[in-house]
Chain A
Amino acid sequence: MNTVFQQVDISHYIYLSTVLFSIGLFGVLFRRNAIVLLMCIELMLNSVNLLLTALSTYMGDAGGQLFVFFIMVVAAAEAAVGLAILVMVYRNTRNTTVNFLSNLKG
Chain B
Amino acid sequence: MNLYILLALPLLGFTINGLFGKQLPKFVVGALASSLVFIPFVLALTLWSEVKEAAIVSQPFTFLQVGDLNIEFKLMLDRLSLIMTLIITGIGTLIHLYSMAYMADDAGYYKFFSYLNLFIFNMLILVLGANFMMLFFGWEGVGLCSYLLIGFWYHNPDFGYAARKAFVMNRIGDLGLLLGLFMIIQHFGSLDYQVVFSEIAKVSHPQWVYTSIAVLLFVGAMGKSAQIPLYTWLPDAMAGPTPVSALIHAATMVTAGVYLVVRSEVLYTLAPMARDLILYVGLATSLLAAFIGLKQNDIKKVLAYSTVSQLGLMFIALGCGAYSAAMFHLATHAFFKALLFLGSGSVIHGMHHEQDIRKMGGLRKAMPLTYVTFLIGTLAISGFPFLSGFFSKDEILLHTFHHSPWVYGLSVFSAGLTGIYMFRMFFLTFHGTYRNDHYAFEKVHESPILMTLPLMVLAALSLSGGLLNLPHYLTHSHSEALAHWLEPLFVFGDAAVHVEPSTEWALLGVAVSVFVIAFVWMRQKYVVQGRVAENDDQMSGSAKLLAHKFYVDELYDSLFAKPLQALGTWTYRVLDRKGFVAFTDLMGKVTHWKGQTLARIQSGNIELYLIIMVLAAALMLGIELFA
Contact = CB atoms under 8 A, between A and B. Distances in A.
A101 B609 CA distance: 12
Given A25-B614, A29-B611, A29-B614, A99 B606 contact: yes
Interface in A84-101: 98-99, 101
A106 B599 contact: yes
Interface string B605-627: 11101110010000000000000
A4 interface: no
B609 to A, nearest CB: 8
A10 interface: no
Contacts of A101: 604, 606
B607 A105 contact: no
Given A29-B607, A98-B607, 16 more contacts: A25-B614, A28-B610, A29-B610, A29-B611, A29-B614, A98-B606, A101-B606, A102-B603, A102-B605, A103-B604, A104-B606, A104-B609, A105-B603, A106-B598, A106-B602, A106-B604
A105 B609 CA distance: 11
B601 interface: yes
B605 to A, nearest CB: 7
Contacts of B605: 99, 102, 105
Interface of A: 25, 28-29, 32, 98-99, 101-106
A104 B607 contact: no
A63 B600 CA distance: 46
A101 B607 CA distance: 10
23 contacts: A28-B610, A29-B607, A29-B611, A29-B614, A98-B606, A101-B604, A101-B606, A102-B603, A102-B604, A102-B605, A102-B606, A103-B604, A104-B602, A104-B604, A105-B603, A105-B604, A105-B605, A106-B598, A106-B599, A106-B600, A106-B601, A106-B602, A106-B604
B596 to A, nearest CB: 9
CB-CB nearest 8 A-B residue pairs: A106-B602, A105-B604, A102-B604, A106-B599, A104-B604, A29-B611, A29-B610, A105-B603
Nearest to A32: B607
A13 to B, nearest CB: 20
Contacts of A104: 602, 604, 606, 609
Nearest to A28: B610
A37 B604 CA distance: 18
Nearest to B609: A104
Contacts of B607: 29, 32, 98-99
A99 B608 CA distance: 10
Interface core residue of B599, B600, B607, B611 (most chain A CB under 10 Å): B607
Interface of B: 598-607, 609-611, 614
A28 B614 CA distance: 11
A29 B418 CA distance: 107
A25 B610 CA distance: 10
Contacts of A102: 603-606
Nearest to A31: B607
Nearest to A103: B604
A33 to B, nearest CB: 12
A32 B607 CA distance: 8
Contacts of B601: 106
A84 to B, nearest CB: 19
Contacts of A28: 610
A47 to B, nearest CB: 15
A102 B614 CA distance: 19
B591 to A, nearest CB: 15
Contacts of B609: 104
A24 to B, nearest CB: 12
A64 B595 CA distance: 47
A53 to B, nearest CB: 23
A48 to B, nearest CB: 15
B582 to A, nearest CB: 28
A62 to B, nearest CB: 29
B282 to A, nearest CB: 79
A68 B548 CA distance: 107
A101 B604 CA distance: 7
B618 to A, nearest CB: 10
Contacts of B614: 25, 29
A99 B553 CA distance: 80
Nearest to B613: A29
A106 B187 CA distance: 70
A29 B603 CA distance: 16
A41 to B, nearest CB: 12
B558 to A, nearest CB: 59
A1 B609 CA distance: 48
Contacts of A98: 606-607
Contacts of B600: 106
Interface core residue of A28, A98, A99, A106 (most chain B CB under 10 Å): A106
B602 A105 contact: yes
Nearest to B598: A106
A28 B606 CA distance: 11
A38 to B, nearest CB: 14
B476 to A, nearest CB: 107
A24 B404 CA distance: 114
A53 B507 CA distance: 131
Contacts of A25: 614
A102 B609 CA distance: 11
Contacts of B603: 102, 105-106
Nearest to B601: A106
Contacts of B610: 28-29
A28 B605 CA distance: 14
A105 B602 CA distance: 5
A103 B605 CA distance: 9
A26 to B, nearest CB: 10
Nearest to A98: B606
Nearest to A104: B604
A99 B610 CA distance: 12
Contacts of A29: 607, 610-611, 614
Contacts of B604: 101-106
B602 to A, nearest CB: 3
B168 to A, nearest CB: 58
A30 to B, nearest CB: 8
A32 B608 CA distance: 12
A32 B599 CA distance: 24
Contacts of B599: 106
A83 B87 CA distance: 107
A103 B609 CA distance: 13
A99 B605 CA distance: 6
Contacts of A32: 607
A100 B600 CA distance: 17
